[in-house]
Amino acid sequence: MAVQWVIGNWKQNGNRQLLTAFLPRIAKAGLGSHVGLSVPFPYLDLAFQGLQDSEIQIGAQDVSQYEGGAYTGEISAGMVADVGGRFTLIGHSERRHYFGESGDVLSRKVEHAMAAGLSVIFCVGENVAVRQNGHAVEYVLDQLKILQKVDLQNLFVAYEPVWAIGSGLSASNEEIAVMHQAIKVHMGNTTPVLYGGSVNASNAQMILAVEGVDGLLVGGASLKADEFIQIGQCANRQT
Ligand code: PGA
């Protein structure tokens, strides 16, 4: 069985105090390089330093669509790599929804992230109306179109149904299996596909056992050290 990834996404949560308590605990848990944590930008360096003696990887939740220059407030992919970041999320549904990120913007972000040597976890997922109309698969495959010319080597896709994010209601095993299979075929069966949306310590094992699930993207539950460690331990870390 291939390695399964567990990536925590802290979103706009946490502070120095939480991180200072959190880092030594996860650093000591013996988790492998299949585990990653995306903290807010100001804490990337602190997280990198705190996890240096562990195999856990640190990443960002987003990067600028610009390589660098006069773009006040932006953080480039190169800066993330410079402070030890190994990967970034791109296209999270909250970025698409609250910040209006469209295909062109996401495409530039992917390009710059890859040029900076970061792995990209490209997030896709349908909203509840699309799911109810029965068009979820075609909607998600359409979101993947911008990846056509991307180097697949450093690419992951995260399937996160919008209605499952932060709702406490994860997708069913069947919904996950059908979507992951469709994404895998679309991507030429080379790209790992993670599932995200209300993953916690109680359902992680079950979701990781679903055919086609190469890992998990974990929001709320990644803010609790014990729970995140338990989820990380559920994943298969060997190739
Ligand atoms: P959740 O978030 O685990 O809190 O549902 C997942 C995500 O948005 O990445």
pLDDT digits (tens, 9 = 90+) for 184-229: 999 999 999 999 999 999 999 999 999 999 999 999 999 999 999 9
Burial class of residue 15 (count of CB atoms within 10 Å of its CB; 0-12, 13-18, 19+): exposed
**Which residues contact residue 170 at a Cβ distance below 8 angstroms, ignoring those fewer than 6 apart?**
164, 197, 198, 199, 203, 207
Per residue in 138-182, pLDDT (tens digit) is: 999 999 999 988 888 899 999 999 999 999 999 999 999 999 999
Helix (H) or strand (E) holding 216: strand 215-218
Instruction: Verify whether ligand 1 is closer than 6 Å to residue 150 (CB atom).
Output: no
Query: Mean of the per-residue pLDDT values for the chain?
Result: 96
- What DSSP state is assigned to residue 43? G
Catalytic residues: 92, 160
The residue-averaged pLDDT of 62-77 equals 98
Residue 239's pLDDT band, with cuts at 50, 70 and 90, is low
Q: β-strands 57-60, 155-159: how paired?
A: unpaired
Q: Is the CB of 200 under 6 A from ligand 1?
A: no
15 pLDDT more than 70: yes
- Pocket mutation for ligand 1, best pick of 6, 11, 165, 195 (most atoms within 8 Å of C-beta): 165
Q: What is the pLDDT of residue 149?
A: 85
Residues 6+ apart with CB under 8 A from 82: none
Q: Establish whether residue 220 lines the binding site of ligand 1, counting it when its CB lies within 6 angstroms of any ligand atom.
A: yes
Q: Is 198 in the pocket of ligand 1 (CB under 6 A)?
A: yes
Minimum-distance ligand 1 atom for the alpha carbon of 166 = 5
- 102 CB neighbour count, 10 Å cutoff: 11
